Amino acid sequence: NAGVTQTPKFRVLKTGQSMTLLCAQDMNHEYMYWYRQDPGMGLRLIHYSVGEGTTAKGEVPDGYNVSRLKKQNFLLGLESAAPSQTSVYFCASIQGGVETQYFGPGTRLLVL
Amino acid sequence: RKEVEQDPGPFNVPEGATVAFNCTYSNSASQSFFWYRQDCRKEPKLLMSVYSSGNEDGRFTAQLNRASQYISLLIRDSKLSDSATYLCVVRGNTGFQKLVFGTGTRLLVSP
């Protein structure tokens, strides 16, 4: 089992460029989440999904879109990157009724 | 006010010391409580769940006081490898298992 994987690990974007972050899990988990982590802010929930084909907004959804076409994949898109989106992005997944959230290794994004 | 508040530290302790971290949460409807550990530039990993009766896992003891909305983590006989950031995490009563994270307390254990 690879657990939760994220691609890419690191990316530099220019303001206005777009990109997609991929999260994949091989544990057949129903719930998947995208967080961002900034200094002094803790992890904040961007979007989440409670199952294939469903997505919902978290605390800080503006500037991001998501899709969950397959149960094992959760994509996070930035349509027009801004410097404020410079952050570390973590994906996580959990099986319903179980307490432990499993995190991916993170994607470091720098927007210039 | 933040939903989950922690002292950011850092806590600098020598090997073998006992150290305690505290955390408060604001949502009285919170249902589950956890401590996560995060190493530098790595993802958070579950350290232990926290129960009202208190629970222990080796050198680690966690306590929950629902009346005061207060969570604690005690580490005994600190090791160099305990150096990390410890995140206090709370799950509310929503249907999608939302976790709310504190900003973390940094621990540095020195020889």
* Whether the Cβ atoms of residue A4 and residue A92 lie closer than 8 Å to each other: yes
Q: How confident is the model at residue B30 (pLDDT cuts 50, 70, 90)?
A: confident
Task: State residue A103's pLDDT score.
Answer: 95
Task: State residue A46's pLDDT score.
Answer: 96
> What tokens does B75 get?
């580490």
Say whether pLDDT at A39 is over 80. Answer: yes
Closest chain A residue to B103, measured at CA? A42
Shortest Cα distance, chain A CAs vs residue B107, angstroms: 15
B45 CB neighbours in chain A (<8 A) are 103
Say whether B44 and A99 touch across the interface (CB within 8 A). Answer: no
> How far is A4 from B40, CA to CA, in rounded Å?
19
Q: How confident is the model at residue B1 (pLDDT cuts 50, 70, 90)?
A: confident
> What tokens does A27 get?
């544990």
Say whether B97 and A101 touch across the interface (CB within 8 A). Answer: yes
> How far is B36 from B46, CA to CA, in rounded Å?
4
Distances (CA, A) of B71 to B8, B34, B68, B109: 15, 9, 9, 22
Say whether pLDDT at A104 is over 80. Answer: yes
Sign, CA dihedral B21-B66-B55-A93, equals negative
> How far is B107 from A3, CA to CA, in rounded Å?
27
* Whether the Cβ atoms of residue A50 and residue A58 lie closer than 8 Å to each other: no
Distances (CA, A) of B97 to A33, A39, A109: 10, 24, 26
Say whether B42 and A105 touch across the interface (CB within 8 A). Answer: yes
List CB contacts of A40: < 8 A, sequence separation 6 or more. B8, B103
**Best residue in B35, B37, B43, B51 to probe A by mutation, most A CBs within 10 Å?**
B43
Say whether B95 and A42 touch across the interface (CB within 8 A). Answer: no
Share of chain A above pLDDT 90, in %: 86
Task: State residue A77's pLDDT score.
Answer: 97
A43 CB neighbours in chain B (<8 A) are 44, 87, 99, 101
Say whether pLDDT at A97 is over 70. Answer: no
Task: State residue B53's pLDDT score.
Answer: 86
Task: State residue B98's pLDDT score.
Answer: 79
